[in-house]
Chain A
Amino acid sequence: MTESHRRELATNDDKLSGSALRAAETIGERSARAPLDWFPQKFEPGVIQGEGAKKLLGTPNVSTGELLVRETAQNSWDARTGREPVEFTINLRKLGRQTCKLLRERVFTGPTPGTGIQDVLQADEVWAVEISDRGTVGLGGPVRNDKAIPPNSVTHFIDLVFNIGATKGDPTSAGTYGFGKSIAYLVSRISAIIIWSRCETDQGIEDRLIASAIGDVFELDGYRYTGRHWWGKTVEDRPEPLVGQDAHELGSSIFAKSFEGSELGTSILILAPELGAPGPEDDADVLANAVLWNLWPKLVPDDTGVNPMIVRVQVEGADHPIPDPATHPVLSGHVDCLRAVRAIQSGKTPPSTLFKVEVVEIKRYSEVLGHLALTKYPLPPDLPAEDGSHSVSLMRHGAELVVRRIERRPLAEPGLQWAGVFKPVAILDPTFAKSEPPAHDDWSPASLRDKTQRSQVKLALEKIQQAADRFVEPDSSSKSRQSSTSAAAVGDMLAGLMSGALGSAPTSAKSRTAATRGGGRRRNKGVVLLGEPHWDTCETPGWTRTYIPVSVEGGPSEGSFVRVKIGIGTEFGTERTTDTNFVRDGGWVGSDGESTALIRPNEFREYWFESSNQVAVDVTTEIISELANE
C-alpha cells in the first residue's frame, strides 16, 4: 500500500474515529440528531417484490463489474449539465469501525429483517464502492412518487429511488434510472446502498440523502413486507430523503467525496461489494478493465482535445491506473475507427492514422443509417489472433458508450488484427436507443413495434456484419457469393411449393410473344419482295452498280406505292445518313427520279444504286399507300 493510500485511509477513518477535531465535532453533532426512519414496504396490490426488482436487468451479456460501470456511467453521462466535463469516479474504500457504527445506528435503523445489513455492519471494517459523478444535475425533482408531477419537472430522484423501470424522457439517453439502479443492489452482497445527491430546486441547491436495500420477503407484526427498504424521513407514512444541511452533514460523514461550493451531482455508496475478485486491488483491476473496455470512447478526446468524461478508478481515494485506449495494443484500432466516424459524421475529414481506416455508409435503400469504420493493424507478437481484436464496437451517436461488440473472424493474415466502430446517424439515435434491452447491451430490432424502425436496426446489424466479413476476408467472401454451382434445378424442383407465385424461371408466355412478334400480318395488305440482285460495272473504279428486282405480293389489284431506301449497312444496323462517298442512290429504272413507284401484284420493277466495294448496303422497302387506286 502506498503512502498516499495510507494517508487517505487515515483521513477517511479519522472523520469518524475522533482523532481529528472536525470529525469529532461532526460525530458529536450527528449524535445529537435523530436517526433515519426505517420504512419497509408492505405488500399492496401491484407492488414488485424485492427480488423481482433485482432481476429487472434480465440476463445481461456482460459481467457484474462491467454492468456496474456501464449502467452508472451511462446514468452519469445522461445527467451531464453540459457546462463542464462529467467527472465519474469509482472509489473502492474501506469503512472503519466508527463509520460502521454510524451506519448501524444512524442510517440502517430498525431490525431490517431479511437483509443481513446488521450482521455486516457489526464488523470492524466493511468494504464499499463509492461511485460519484460531478458536472451532473443531481437527482432533482419531487421526492415523492405519489403526487402529481409539476409540468416540466424532472423526476430524477423518484425514478432512481422509488420507480422501478421508469424510462427517461429523453429518447437518446442511454441509461434508464429505474433499471440502472438495480445493478447497484446486485453488486452489494447485502443489496444495500446509500444515495447522496445535490441538485437545484426552486428553493436553491438542496442536498438529499436516502438509503435503500432489497432483501427477502418477511413478515412483521402480522403484515407481509416485499423486502424493499428505505431509510430517510417518514412523512405522511411515506419515505422521503433527509434534505438540506442535515443531509449534507450526514453525507459528509459517510462519503469520502463531498460536494464543493455549488457543485451538483450524485454519490452512491454500495456496501459490501462483490465483484468476483479476491481483494480490493483485484476489484480495482476488474473495474479499471471494465472502464477500459466499456467506456473507452469516453476516454478518447474530441477534436478540441477535451475528454468527454473524466473517469477515475480509485482504491482508498488513490487513483488506480486505467490504460490509455489510444495506445492500447488491442483497443487502439477501435479508437482510430471512432475518430474517423466522429469526423465523417460531423462533416470533417478523418484524421490521418498510421494504419488505413475505411469508412463505409450503412444504408437502407438510399437512407444512410450510420457509418462503419474498419481498420487493420498489427497484432502484438505475444498475442494469439483469437485474443486480438476481431470485432465491431456498436455505440450510439450521442452517448458513445459501447452497446456491444459484434465478433467476426480474426484476419487470416498473420500478425494483423482488425477493428471496427459503428455509430448511427444522429437522427436515428432514438430508434437504436429504443431497441436496447434494459441492460443496454444489445440492439434488438424485434423489440421495436414500428416496422420501419425495426427494418432500420435489423438491416444495420446485418450490413455491419456483411461489411465486416468482406473487410476481413474479401477473397473468400466474394468467392462465397459467387458459387460456381447452379441452384436453378433445385429451384425448379421446388417451384411447385410456390403455388404459381411469380419467380425467375423463363416464361412461356413471353416466349410465345417473342415467337409470334411480327407475324400478325394483315391478309389484305401487300408485301414487297426483293429479288436476286444483279450487278453492272460502274464508271467509278472500285464501285459497283446494283439492280434489285422489286415486286409486290398481294394488296389491291390496282397496285401499291412502294418506296425504297438505301443505306450503308453496319454491324448494328443501317446508318441514318447516307455518305455519297460510299453510296449513290439511283432510283427506279425508267423513272425520272421519283421516290415511289406504283407496283401491281406480280409486276416487277427495278431499283438501282451504286456503291463502293468497301461497304455493305441495306435496301429497305415499304408500301406507303394502297389507297391511290382503290
Chain B
Amino acid sequence: MSRLRLLPYRSLAPCDVSWGEWWLERDGIRSPLPDLLPGWDYASREVIGISVDVTDSAILEKTGLTRLDLIEAVAIADCPATFRRFLARQRLSPKQQVDLAVELPPGEIAQRLELSTFLILADDIPPVDRVASKRGSRLCSGPTRALLLEGDSSRFPTEVVPFSGIHIEHAPWTISAMFDDLTDSFMGSIRLLVNEEHELGRELLTSPVSPSLETRVKVEVVRSLVAIASMQDVSDDVEFPDDSVGAVIDAMCRRFFNFSIHEAIHVYRQNPLKFDRILYAGVGE
C-alpha cells in the first residue's frame, strides 16, 4: 500500500530540506540519539533535538512564499502512552542552521516517543493561489522516527528519595524489600533507595561513578539481598519462578560466589566474616 498526502498549497519534498540527525544532550554534550534512550527513567529530564539546514532561494521558489522568516521549523516528540506532546519551534533565517531542542520533563513520558519534524507557515498571510496562507500550514514533513524509553532489559530497580521524607535513617542508600515469599516478583518487591540528601548518595547519582564507589554499592546490595533472603526458609532443592526474588538472588549468588542461594545463606549465617571475604572477592573483581 502506498500513501501520499497532497496539500492544497505548494509544499516541499523532504529532500528539499537538509534535516540533521536527532541528538541527545546530557551535561552539555551532544551525542547522536540512539534508538534506545540509555539511562532514562521517570525522574529523568532530557533534552533531544535536531538541526535543520535550508537553502532560502529553493524553499521560497517551491513554496511560493516571499520571505524565509514566514517559515517555522518544528520538532515534535509525541508520547502515545501519556498523550503528551513536546515541541520546539524556531523561525528560519537566511543562511542559518536552525537548532531545535525539545525538553522532555520528568514524569510525563513513558514507553516510547514518536519524533517528527516539520516546516510550517508561521503567520497568516493573504491568500495567493496555491500558496499556503494559514498559520500552521505544513510546508514540509521531515523524517520521523521512534525513540524507545522502556522495555524489559535488566535494570536494577532503583529510586532516588530524600530519606527524611520517608522517615528512615540518614544512610546513603538502602534496600527496600516488600515481599511475602521468595517466589514473588523481584521487580515488584525490591528497590534500591538512594538518599539524595546524603553526600555519598548524591555522589552515586552523579556520572561518572568512581569504580570504588560502584564496587562498594554492588557489594552492599548483594550483602543486603542475601541478608533479606536469609530471613526466609530456603531449602537446598527449592526452585524459584523466573524473575522472582529467589531466582534473581540465586543467580546472583551463583555468578559471584559459585554458590546456590541456600549455600550463600548458610555461609552468611554461620560465618559472616567469611561471607564478607567471598563477597568482596566475587563482586569486587
- Which residue, of A504, A544, A612, has the highest number of chain B Cβ atoms within 10 A? A504
Query: Which of A469, A493, A614 is the most central at the interface, judged by chain B CB atoms within 10 Å of its CB?
Result: A493
Q: Residue on A with the closest CB to B148?
A: A506
Among A462, A488, A507, the residue within 8 A (CB) of B158 is: A488
Do A613 and B158 touch (CB < 8 A)? no
Known contacts: A486-B39, A548-B4, A612-B8. The answer to whether A500 contacts B251 by CB under 8 A is yes
B60 at the interface (CB under 8 A from A): no
Residue contact A505 to B153, C-beta cutoff 8 Å: yes
A212 to B195, CA, bound (A): 57
Interface-located stretch among B63-71, B204-212, B262-270, B273-281: B204-212
How far apart sit A511 and B5, CA to CA, in the bound complex (Å)? 27
Interface: B58 (CB within 8 A)? no
| Contact A483/B38 with A494-B192, A502-B152, A614-B8 known, Cβ cut-off 8 Å | no
B209-228: CB near A (< 8 Å → 1, else 0) gives: 10000100110011000000
Complex CA–CA separation, A618 to B141 (angstroms): 14
Say yes or no: B148 contacts A489, CB within 8 Å.
no
**Residues of B contacting A408 in the complex (Cβ-Cβ under 8 angstroms):** 167
A493 and B180 within 8 A (CB)? no
CA distance A477 to B167 in the complex (A): 10
| CB-contacts of A558-616 with B (<8 A) | 569, 611-616
A477 touches B40 (CB 8 A): no
Closest B residue, CB atoms, query A453: B180
In Å, the complex CA distance between A323 and B3 comes to 82
Q: Which residues of B contact A506 (CB under 8 A)?
A: 36-38, 40, 148-151, 153
Structural contact, A492 and B6, CB atoms closer than 8 A: no
B165 touches A498 (CB 8 A): no
Say whether, besides A480-B166, A508-B153, A546 and B252 are in contact (CB < 8 Å).
no
A103 to B219: give the CA distance in the assembly, Å: 68
* A493-B35 in contact given A483-B160, A615-B8 (Cβ < 8 Å): no
For residue B150, which residues in chain A have a CB less than 8 angstroms away from its CB? 504-506
Report the nearest A residue to B165, measured CB to CB.
Answer: A480
Interface residues of B in 32-51 (CB under 8 A from A): 35-41, 43-45
A356 to chain B, nearest CB (A): 25
- Complex: chain B residue closest to A550, CB-CB: B2
* Contacts of A412-465 to chain B: CB distance below 8 A: 451, 454-455, 458, 462
Q: B-facing mask of A468-504, CB < 8 A → 1, else 0?
A: 0100010011011111111111111111111111111
Tell me how many residue pairs across A and B have CB atoms closer than 8 Å.
229
Bound-complex Cα distance A502 to B166 (A): 28
The residue of chain B having its C-beta at the shortest distance from the C-beta of A515 within the complex is B35
For B217, the closest partner residue in chain A by CB is: A494
In the complex, are the beta carbons of A535 and B130 less than 8 A apart? yes
Q: What is the distance, in angstroms, from A159's C-beta to the closest C-beta of chain B?
A: 32
Whether A482 and B107, one on each chain, are in contact in the complex, defined by CB atoms closer than 8 angstroms, is yes
**Of residues 236 to 257 in B, which have CB atoms within 8 Å of A's CB atoms?**
242-243, 247-248, 251-252, 254-255
- Identify the stretch in A108-116, A184-192, A526-534 within 8 Å (CB) of chain B at 4 or more residues: A526-534
Task: Indicate which residue in B1, B9, B166, B218 contacts A621 across the interface (CB closer than 8 Å).
Answer: B1
| B187 at interface by CB-CB < 8 Å | yes
Contact call B160/A486, Cβ cutoff below 8 A:
yes
Give every chain B residue within 8 A of A488 (Cβ-Cβ). Answer: 39-41, 43-44, 155, 158
| Residues of chain B from 118 to 173 with CB closer than 8 A to chain A in the complex | 130, 146, 148-162, 165-167
Contact between A501 and B251, CB atoms less than 8 A apart: yes
Contacts of B9 in A (CB 8 A): 613
Residues 167-208 of B at the A interface (beta carbon under 8 Å): 167, 178, 180-181, 186-187, 192, 194, 196, 204-205, 207
Tell whether A503 pairs with B196 under 8 Å between CB atoms, given A462-B178, A615-B8.
no
Give Cα distance in the complex from A415 to B92, angstroms.
59
CA distance A7 to B208 in the complex (A): 84
Closest partner residue, chain A, to B214 (CB atom) = A493
Bound CA span A494–B149, Å: 18
A617 on interface, CB distance cutoff 8 Å: yes
Given the complex, which residues of B lie within 8 Å of A622, measured CB to CB?
1-2
Quote the shortest CB–CB distance from B129 to chain A (angstroms).
Answer: 8
Q: Indicate whether A619 reaches chain B with its CB closer than 8 angstroms.
A: yes
A409 within 8 A of B: yes
Say yes or no: A489 contacts B156, CB within 8 Å: no
In contact, A494 and B221 (Cβ under 8 angstroms): yes
Given contacts A480-B166, A486-B39, contact A495 B7 (CB under 8 A): no
Tell me the complex Cα distance, A480–B41, Å: 16
Chain B residues with CB under 8 A of A614: 8
A514 located at the interface, meaning its Cβ lies under 8 Å from any Cβ of chain B in the complex: yes
Complex contact B205–A490 (CB within 8 A): yes
B272 at the interface (CB under 8 A from A): no
Given contacts A487-B43, A487-B194, contact A498 B2 (CB under 8 A): no
Q: Looking across the interface, which residue of chain A has its beta carbon closest to that of B250? A: A499
Are B180 and A507 interface neighbours, CB within 8 A? Answer: no
* A620 is an interface residue with CB less than 8 A from chain B: yes
Cβ A498 vs Cβ B248 within 8 A = yes
A568 to B204, CA, bound (A): 54
Residue B106 lies at the interface, judged by CB distance under 8 Å to chain A: yes
User: Are A507's CB and B148's CB within 8 A?
Assistant: yes
With contact pairs A483-B162, A494-B192 given, residues A510 and B151 touching in the complex (Cβ less than 8 Å): yes
Taking the nearest CB of chain A, how far is it from the CB of B85, in angstroms? 11
CA distance A577 to B162 in the complex (A): 55
Q: How far is the CA of A309 from the CA of B153 in the complex (A)?
A: 60
A498 contacts B158, CB within 8 Å?
no
Closest Cβ–Cβ distance, residue B159 to chain A (whole Å) = 6
Please, which residues of chain B bring their CB within 8 A of the CB of A498?
Answer: 154-156, 186, 248, 251-252
What is the chain A residue whose CB lies nearest that of B185? A502
CB 8 Å contact bits of A85-100 with B (1 = contact, 0 = none): 0000000000000000
Residue of B nearest to A618 (CB): B5
Q: Say whether B151 contacts A505, CB under 8 Å.
A: yes
For residue B160, give the distance in angstroms from its CB to the closest CB of chain A.
Answer: 4
With both beta carbons as reference points, the residue of chain B lying nearest to A532 in the complex is identified as: B13
Asked whether, in the complex, the Cβ of B36 is within 8 Å of the Cβ of A499, the reply is no
Residues of A whose CB lies within 8 Å of any CB of B are: 408-409, 451, 454-455, 458, 462, 469, 473, 476-477, 479-511, 514-515, 527-530, 533, 535, 544, 546, 548, 569, 611-622
Give 9 nearest A-B pairs by CB, closest first: A507-B151, A480-B165, A506-B36, A494-B156, A499-B251, A503-B155, A488-B41, A505-B155, A487-B158
Interface residues of B (CB under 8 A from A): 1-9, 35-41, 43-45, 106-107, 130, 146, 148-162, 165-167, 178, 180-181, 186-187, 192, 194, 196, 204-205, 207, 209, 214, 217-218, 221-222, 242-243, 247-248, 251-252, 254-255
20 chain-A/chain-B pairs, Cβ below 8 angstroms: A469-B166, A480-B166, A483-B159, A486-B106, A487-B159, A487-B160, A488-B155, A491-B41, A491-B192, A494-B192, A494-B218, A497-B221, A498-B154, A499-B154, A504-B157, A511-B35, A511-B151, A544-B8, A613-B8, A613-B9
Apart from A484-B106, A530-B2, A617-B6, 10 more pairs, CB < 8 Å: A485-B160, A486-B205, A490-B192, A495-B153, A501-B247, A503-B156, A504-B151, A504-B152, A611-B6, A621-B2
